[in-house]
Structure 1
Amino acid sequence: MTLDQLHLLFFKNYDEASLAFSPGINCFIGDNGSGKTNLLDAIHYLAITKSAFAGSDAQSIKQGADFFVVKGKFSTAQLERPETIQVSMRVGQKKIITHDKQPYDRLADHIGRYPAVLISPYDTDLIRQGSEDRRRYFDSLQSQLDHDFLELLIQYNGLLRQRNATLKQGTGSHGFDALYLQALDDQLAPLGESLSAFRVDFLAQFIPVFQRHYAQLADGREQVVVEYKSQLTGQNFRHLLLANERRDLLLQRSTTGPHRDDFIFLMDGLPVKSYASQGQQKSFAIALKLAQFDLLANRPLPAGTAAAKPLLLLDDIFDRLDDKRIARLLQLVADQTFGQVFLTDTNLTRTDQALAGVSSAIQRFEVQAGKVAPL
Structure 2
Amino acid sequence: MTLDQLHLLFFKNYDEASLTFGSGINCFIGDNGTGKTNLLDAIHYLALGKSAFGSSDAQNIKQDADFFVVKGSFSAPEAEKSETIQVSLRAGQKKTITHDKQPYERLADHIGRYPAVLISPYDTDLVRQGSEERRRYFDSLQSQLDHDFLELLIQYNSLLRQRTATLKQSNGAHGFDALYLQALDDQLAPLGEQLSQQRVDFLAQFLPAFQAHYSQLADGREQVTIDYKSQLPGQNFRHLLLANERRDQLLQRSTVGPHRDDFVFLMNGLPIKTYGSQGQQKSFVIALKLAQFDLLTNRDARLAGPKPSKPLLLLDDIFDRLDDKRIARLLQLVANHAFGQVFLTDTNLARTDAALAGITGEISRFRITQGRATLIADGS
TM-score scaled by structure 1?
Answer: 0.99
* Amino acid across the alignment from 1:55: S
Structure 1 unaligned regions, length at least 5: none
Question: 1:130-149 counterparts in 2 under 5 A?
Answer: 130-149=130-149
Q: Look up the match of 1:166.
A: 166
- Rounded to whole Å, the distance in 1 between the matches of 2:148 and 2:78 is 25
Q: Give the Å deviation of 1:367.
A: 0.3
- Rounded to whole Å, the distance in 1 between the matches of 2:330 and 2:293 is 12
Residues 223 and 268, structure 1, Cα contact 8 Å, conserved in 2: yes
Q: Give the Å deviation of 1:87.
A: 0.3
Question: 1:135-214 counterparts in 2 under 5 A?
Answer: 135-214=135-214
Q: Does 1:78 align with 2:58?
A: no
Residues 36 and 368, structure 2, Cα contact 8 Å, conserved in 1: yes
Q: Look up the match of 1:325.
A: 326
- Rounded to whole Å, the distance in 1 between the matches of 2:296 and 2:133 is 20
- Rounded to whole Å, the distance in 2 between the matches of 1:178 and 1:52 is 40
Q: Look up the match of 1:374.
A: 375
* Amino acid across the alignment from 1:140: S
Q: Give the Å deviation of 1:38.
A: 0.1
* Amino acid across the alignment from 2:182: Q
- Rounded to whole Å, the distance in 2 between the matches of 1:64 and 1:186 is 49
Q: Deviations over 1:156-190 (max 9, x none)?
A: 00000000000000100000000000000000000
Q: Give the Å deviation of 1:301.
A: 2.5
Q: Deviations over 1:309-337 (max 9, x none)?
A: 00000000000000000000000000000
Q: Does 1:101 align with 2:97?
A: no
* Amino acid across the alignment from 2:152: L
Q: Look up the match of 2:358.
A: 357
Q: Give the Å deviation of 1:55.
A: 2.3
Q: Give the Å deviation of 1:234.
A: 1.4
Aligned residue for 1:199, secondary structure, equals helix
- Rounded to whole Å, the distance in 1 between the matches of 2:314 and 2:143 is 19
- Rounded to whole Å, the distance in 1 between the matches of 2:169 and 2:116 is 41
Q: Look up the match of 1:262.
A: 262
Residues 127 and 265, structure 2, Cα contact 8 Å, conserved in 1: yes
What's the % identity of the aligned pairs? 80
- Rounded to whole Å, the distance in 2 between the matches of 1:100 and 1:191 is 34
Q: Look up the match of 2:39.
A: 39
In the alignment of these two chains, the number of paired residues is 375
Residues 197 and 233, structure 2, Cα contact 8 Å, conserved in 1: no
- Rounded to whole Å, the distance in 2 between the matches of 1:128 and 1:302 is 34
Q: Look up the match of 2:127.
A: 127
Q: Does 1:29 align with 2:29?
A: yes
Structure 2 unaligned regions, length at least 5: none
The answer to which of 314-323 and 225-234 deviates more is 225-234
The answer to which of 55-64 and 264-273 deviates more is 55-64
The answer to which of 330-339 and 55-64 deviates more is 55-64
Q: Does 1:231 align with 2:228?
A: no
Name segments (4+ residues, structure 1) moved above 2 Å: 301-307
* Amino acid across the alignment from 2:261: D
Q: Give the Å deviation of 1:306.
A: 5.1
Residues 298 and 307, structure 1, Cα contact 8 Å, conserved in 2: no
Q: Give the Å deviation of 1:307.
A: 4.1
Aligned residue for 1:289, secondary structure, equals helix
Aligned residue for 2:358, secondary structure, equals coil
- Rounded to whole Å, the distance in 1 between the matches of 2:31 and 2:111 is 33
Aligned residue for 1:226, secondary structure, equals strand
Cα–Cα, structure 1 residues 322 and 240, in superposed 2: closer, same or farther, change >3 Å?
A: same
